[in-house]
Chain A
């Protein structure tokens, strides 16, 4: 610091750098400041005290939001903090030591207002910069943009990534690694900060003066910070710690000369009304690849480092071993070898490498290279696995009594306008989708379900037709928590549902899951997301060989198609997807069902039933035609397992695709004695299982089975009897009784008369005749005559 009398102590940090956080903590403890000034929005000061709350667990973010009239979505920015963020540590330290903390960055009321629009629309140079936040739904992109540049924008001069420039000068191709070696991994003292400030001053002096609205905003921010510094000095604080991004430090050191200009610069700024809230954050959303300007590449690794930086002297070996152990566990979970002996060897290699490269602590590359070489035999690690570890996904928690979030407010507002009450008792609700209110309620509940807040369960609709929807509502305390978690996705239920859906579209690999998403998106009235979903499902389905996935996906797709009309959405694209799926299924199915074992046959039986159900419900002539061709083909397919074969024959009969004669032919062929007995039984089961009622009421079917049974030779009959019994056991009890009754009834048709013993009856007749005083009619005596000869 140039001025010895100055009360200011500057700490230029790197956002989310664990080493920075560690050095900062030490320096602050040594300094014992009486005021802490941190780069952050003024409006958040009122809720800052929650940072020390025992229930507050980072990663969390400060959300600053305000709405502008005429815009549907509120404007918002996030200020995320991980546990290893220097700002977070500074805030925590200040709160613990009861040092006043102030946020000195430009208030978001001005930052979010229309102050930075380019004067003319043709300012092409700034176009991409201004659009960047919009591309990520206005989140995180604006959170902070001074230190690292996103890798997608390669020109460091344009984005003024000062570390990138320094790194390049030092021969590193990666600014992150450069900073890690030079700052984060060094033993720390006040000297670190001085060196950083000098370096930054050098970079700032070497760079051309930036222009454009973005630069103006930067200038305003720094002016505002200087104003705050001056105010703090005036109030008489003696040891003021200024914790800001390293880039800003040189600009904040000169306070006297700039006084006038700052006032002039800040005067004309417009304002909007802004509120602040804490929301839980995740490590995944700290990634620079997620579009977060000050993002980092491996929060998991930083968290690991931070855990070890807590010790007085960071122990390279402990860092190595801890990281290796984590990796080994993940490898084992994936079914790959990772023995302890290998970990020991990897540890040794890392230690040797670090010594060779002249480093006290290993860096991430050292570790990863050693892991590849020792544990993974030189091959690159599975991407999902290393990503999982590098991100180290954690969800933050915030105390319950923090001010409510915009999403919560929106939720309450919608509940009120839709007259839905959060009740702990379950309540049934029937919605008429033809009514405005009913549709709105359904939409709202579906959106919540999409967001993972299952407040309502869809029950079977009371009435007939698709315009009625039954719901069972049950509010549980966990749902409040889920609502809180969903806040990360947007300010309103609608917005959150949309961005969550987009996130799912990117992440999801599973075809049935995407089909379900399509259905959910449709019922939640998020039709704009449909094209992306349809593209995704089509892309995935082209590459799959698994017909069962397609079948599973078909049902939700068909539902979506059917319900689409009720909800006034355009469903042509969906129809195309459905028919392409049906076609693909019909092409792939014969191969997929050939050579099944009993277990697989059961599964496929279920799939086929689902397919039949869906297609019947869709009732599309062309698709049914395809289905018909397929079924008839399967009926004749040689080597098909009995169960699906029998079922197909049955379905073909039901649809009248086979006439009675052909069906009888198939039936008796399938059950003829030449066939292996197991297959016969399976066929019979496929044909008749669960069909008790049809057997009762369908005369043709009855005759078919009856004729076959009656025609069996004794030996064959005895052989198949236990197997047939297996099928009939699937009928319900009343069905079996009725079947038996029908069998008897049929028999009685021929022998009803014989049920009465005529001979004995005839003996009573003369007595009766006497009683009634009538003469016996002749024919009735005939039996007497015929039997009269016998005594």
Chain B
């Protein structure tokens, strides 16, 4: 294993991708490494005809993934929306890895993202020395994707200022990128497309113009449907994460995962899993991703400071940090939850004590 902290999807799952490409007999769109059906299989997991097991990357509604993949096969771009932690970036990375074999063509959207990041910049030394020439051009990931027929990814599209966002319109509709300084334009090779992700929870960011919106097919990724599904997600991601972080192997902490996920779901939905008690919901989004980090944090605690078994004490600190996003406002719902729900559950006594001790 290399020393890279987090490998790109196409490297981490290189073996699976290779097997899929090997067995895939269905027609592939131009420049695609896999057929659309195989991409869906790669995402959702399953057993291939030759007995090779593909691990699920996304646990959830198959039809959503089908729409996402089918969109990329048309000439519309894909916009993945969802609250934080619904695996938007995760799905986008794996889509790019499976389809183009390259998930690195990434533009991270921030308030400071400039047009150069989406189009091209200049190598000023060369520009001064030789004057404007194609060699002096510094291509953006978008331009690279266009020239090679790959998928480009734009993370957090709505954080990019509106006027910069609109640079995408020409690329998405005309599939060209003009360079007026040189009097040339780059025309996209077949296979080029864009996956953008955006958070549909926070307001106050730059909403897409309707012209840009029209170039995207939107897929909204929901929070996991059932407790069972969510536990599966946390468990599988945790295992993968533990391997990368080289955490000492621990006995499976299924019971703790179940408790953390239950707490997250109950607080997020404002009602207990048995749907008998109404709860106040705290302000945080309490996503699955946060549940994963609470668990991995607990794992690290248990292995380095604890007795090697993830216990209530190990997860309590992380839990508090995840729930109490606003130290004033969120305290009341959390206290209420602790006293009315956690305390009442017979086998949760240890967790109750651990949480009280931290307060």
Binding site for B on A (CB under 8 A): 337, 339, 341-342, 345, 348-349, 352-353, 356-357, 365, 369-370, 373-374, 377-379
A454 to chain B, nearest CB (A): 46
Alpha-carbon separation in the docked complex, A98 to B74 (Å) = 51
Chain B residues contacting A377 (CB-CB under 8 Å) are 213, 216, 218
B27 to chain A, nearest CB (A): 9
User: What are the interface flags for B218-230 relative to A under an 8 Å C-beta threshold, 1 for contact and 0 otherwise?
Assistant: 1110000000000
Q: Of all chain A residues, which has the CB nearest B72?
A: A352
Chain B residues contacting A374 (CB-CB under 8 Å) are 76, 217-218
Indicate whether B67 reaches chain A with its CB closer than 8 angstroms. Answer: yes
Whether A349 and B217, one on each chain, are in contact in the complex, defined by CB atoms closer than 8 angstroms, is yes
Whether A356 and B76, one on each chain, are in contact in the complex, defined by CB atoms closer than 8 angstroms, is no
A341 to chain B, nearest CB (A): 7
User: What are the interface flags for B20-52 relative to A under an 8 Å C-beta threshold, 1 for contact and 0 otherwise?
Assistant: 000000000000000011001000000000000
Chain B residues contacting A342 (CB-CB under 8 Å) are 214
User: What are the interface flags for B69-103 relative to A under an 8 Å C-beta threshold, 1 for contact and 0 otherwise?
Assistant: 11101111001010000000000000000000000
Chain A residues contacting B218 (CB-CB under 8 Å) are 373-374, 377-378
B25 to chain A, nearest CB (A): 14
A367 to chain B, nearest CB (A): 12
Q: Of all chain A residues, which has the CB nearest B217?
A: A373
Whether B66 and A357, one on each chain, are in contact in the complex, defined by CB atoms closer than 8 angstroms, is yes
Whether A369 and B67, one on each chain, are in contact in the complex, defined by CB atoms closer than 8 angstroms, is yes
CB under 8 Å from chain A, chain B span 272-286: none
A515 to chain B, nearest CB (A): 35
Which of A341, A348, A365, A369 is within 8 Å of B74, CB to CB? A348
Alpha-carbon separation in the docked complex, A529 to B213 (Å) = 50
Alpha-carbon separation in the docked complex, A365 to B64 (Å) = 12
Chain A residues contacting B74 (CB-CB under 8 Å) are 345, 348-349, 352
Max chain A C-beta neighbours (<10 A), residue from B37, B81, B218: B218
Contacts A356-B36, A373-B71: A345 and B63 contacting too (C-beta < 8 A)?
no
Closest 10 CB pairs of A and B: A378-B218, A352-B70, A378-B220, A348-B74, A353-B70, A373-B217, A377-B218, A352-B73, A356-B36, A345-B76
Chain A residues contacting B217 (CB-CB under 8 Å) are 345, 349, 373-374
Alpha-carbon separation in the docked complex, A370 to B67 (Å) = 8
Which of B36, B81, B213 is within 8 Å of A352, CB to CB? B36
Chain A residues contacting B70 (CB-CB under 8 Å) are 349, 352-353, 356
Q: Of all chain B residues, which has the CB nearest A369?
A: B67
Indicate whether B2 reaches chain A with its CB closer than 8 angstroms. Answer: no
Chain B residues contacting A379 (CB-CB under 8 Å) are 220
Whether B67 and A353, one on each chain, are in contact in the complex, defined by CB atoms closer than 8 angstroms, is yes
Chain B residues contacting A352 (CB-CB under 8 Å) are 36, 70-71, 73-74
Contacts A337-B210, A373-B218, A378-B81: A356 and B71 contacting too (C-beta < 8 A)?
no
Chain B residues contacting A378 (CB-CB under 8 Å) are 79, 81, 218-220
Chain B residues contacting A349 (CB-CB under 8 Å) are 67, 70-71, 74, 76, 217
Alpha-carbon separation in the docked complex, A440 to B296 (Å) = 80
A180 to chain B, nearest CB (A): 15
B68 to chain A, nearest CB (A): 9
Chain B residues contacting A357 (CB-CB under 8 Å) are 66
Whether A373 and B219, one on each chain, are in contact in the complex, defined by CB atoms closer than 8 angstroms, is yes
Chain B residues contacting A356 (CB-CB under 8 Å) are 36-37, 40, 66, 69-70, 73
B47 to chain A, nearest CB (A): 16
Alpha-carbon separation in the docked complex, A63 to B187 (Å) = 67
Q: Interface residue tally of chain B, by bracket?
A: 20 to 34
A193 to chain B, nearest CB (A): 31
Chain B residues contacting A337 (CB-CB under 8 Å) are 210, 214
Alpha-carbon separation in the docked complex, A349 to B71 (Å) = 6
Contacts A348-B74, A352-B36, A353-B67: A341 and B81 contacting too (C-beta < 8 A)?
no
Chain B residues contacting A345 (CB-CB under 8 Å) are 74-76, 217
Alpha-carbon separation in the docked complex, A602 to B79 (Å) = 50
B64 to chain A, nearest CB (A): 9
Chain B residues contacting A369 (CB-CB under 8 Å) are 63, 67
* 6 extra A-B contacts, CB within 8 A, seeds A356-B70, A365-B63: A348-B75, A348-B76, A349-B67, A349-B74, A352-B71, A357-B66
Alpha-carbon separation in the docked complex, A20 to B36 (Å) = 32
Alpha-carbon separation in the docked complex, A272 to B296 (Å) = 75
Q: Of all chain B residues, which has the CB nearest A347?
A: B74
Alpha-carbon separation in the docked complex, A349 to B70 (Å) = 6
A348 to chain B, nearest CB (A): 4
Q: Of all chain A residues, which has the CB nearest B220?
A: A378
Whether A353 and B66, one on each chain, are in contact in the complex, defined by CB atoms closer than 8 angstroms, is yes
Q: Of all chain A residues, which has the CB nearest B215?
A: A345
Q: Of all chain B residues, which has the CB nearest A339?
A: B214
B343 to chain A, nearest CB (A): 36
Chain A residues contacting B219 (CB-CB under 8 Å) are 373, 378
Q: Of all chain B residues, which has the CB nearest A372?
A: B218
Chain A residues contacting B66 (CB-CB under 8 Å) are 353, 356-357
Alpha-carbon separation in the docked complex, A565 to B76 (Å) = 68
Complex A-B: 8 CB contacts under 8 Å: A337-B210, A345-B76, A352-B36, A356-B36, A356-B70, A356-B73, A378-B219, A379-B220
Alpha-carbon separation in the docked complex, A352 to B37 (Å) = 11
Alpha-carbon separation in the docked complex, A625 to B70 (Å) = 69
Q: Of all chain B residues, which has the CB nearest A377?
A: B218
Alpha-carbon separation in the docked complex, A365 to B63 (Å) = 10
Alpha-carbon separation in the docked complex, A369 to B67 (Å) = 8
Alpha-carbon separation in the docked complex, A357 to B40 (Å) = 11
Chain A residues contacting B75 (CB-CB under 8 Å) are 345, 348
Max chain A C-beta neighbours (<10 A), residue from B75, B81, B220: B220
Alpha-carbon separation in the docked complex, A341 to B219 (Å) = 19
Alpha-carbon separation in the docked complex, A345 to B214 (Å) = 10
Chain A residues contacting B76 (CB-CB under 8 Å) are 345, 348-349, 374
Q: Of all chain A residues, which has the CB nearest B69?
A: A356
B294 to chain A, nearest CB (A): 29
Q: Of all chain A residues, which has the CB nearest B76?
A: A345
Alpha-carbon separation in the docked complex, A337 to B212 (Å) = 13
Alpha-carbon separation in the docked complex, A28 to B94 (Å) = 52
Max chain A C-beta neighbours (<10 A), residue from B63, B69, B217: B217
A370 to chain B, nearest CB (A): 7
Alpha-carbon separation in the docked complex, A378 to B217 (Å) = 8
A327 to chain B, nearest CB (A): 16
Alpha-carbon separation in the docked complex, A356 to B69 (Å) = 9
A170 to chain B, nearest CB (A): 15
User: What are the interface flags for B189-228 relative to A under an 8 Å C-beta threshold, 1 for contact and 0 otherwise?
Assistant: 0000000000000000000001001101111100000000
A387 to chain B, nearest CB (A): 21
Whether A373 and B67, one on each chain, are in contact in the complex, defined by CB atoms closer than 8 angstroms, is yes
Chain B residues contacting A373 (CB-CB under 8 Å) are 67, 71, 217-219
Alpha-carbon separation in the docked complex, A365 to B36 (Å) = 19
Alpha-carbon separation in the docked complex, A374 to B219 (Å) = 9
Q: Of all chain A residues, which has the CB nearest B78?
A: A373
A412 to chain B, nearest CB (A): 56
A375 to chain B, nearest CB (A): 10
Alpha-carbon separation in the docked complex, A339 to B219 (Å) = 19
Chain A residues contacting B36 (CB-CB under 8 Å) are 352, 356
Chain A residues contacting B37 (CB-CB under 8 Å) are 356
Alpha-carbon separation in the docked complex, A337 to B209 (Å) = 13
Alpha-carbon separation in the docked complex, A183 to B79 (Å) = 35
Max chain A C-beta neighbours (<10 A), residue from B37, B40, B70: B70
Alpha-carbon separation in the docked complex, A352 to B214 (Å) = 19
B237 to chain A, nearest CB (A): 24
Q: Of all chain B residues, which has the CB nearest A348?
A: B74
B60 to chain A, nearest CB (A): 15
Alpha-carbon separation in the docked complex, A357 to B69 (Å) = 12
A443 to chain B, nearest CB (A): 49
Q: Of all chain A residues, which has the CB nearest B80?
A: A378
Chain A residues contacting B69 (CB-CB under 8 Å) are 356
A378 to chain B, nearest CB (A): 3
Q: Of all chain B residues, which has the CB nearest A346?
A: B217
Chain A residues contacting B213 (CB-CB under 8 Å) are 377
Alpha-carbon separation in the docked complex, A379 to B66 (Å) = 17
Alpha-carbon separation in the docked complex, A378 to B81 (Å) = 8
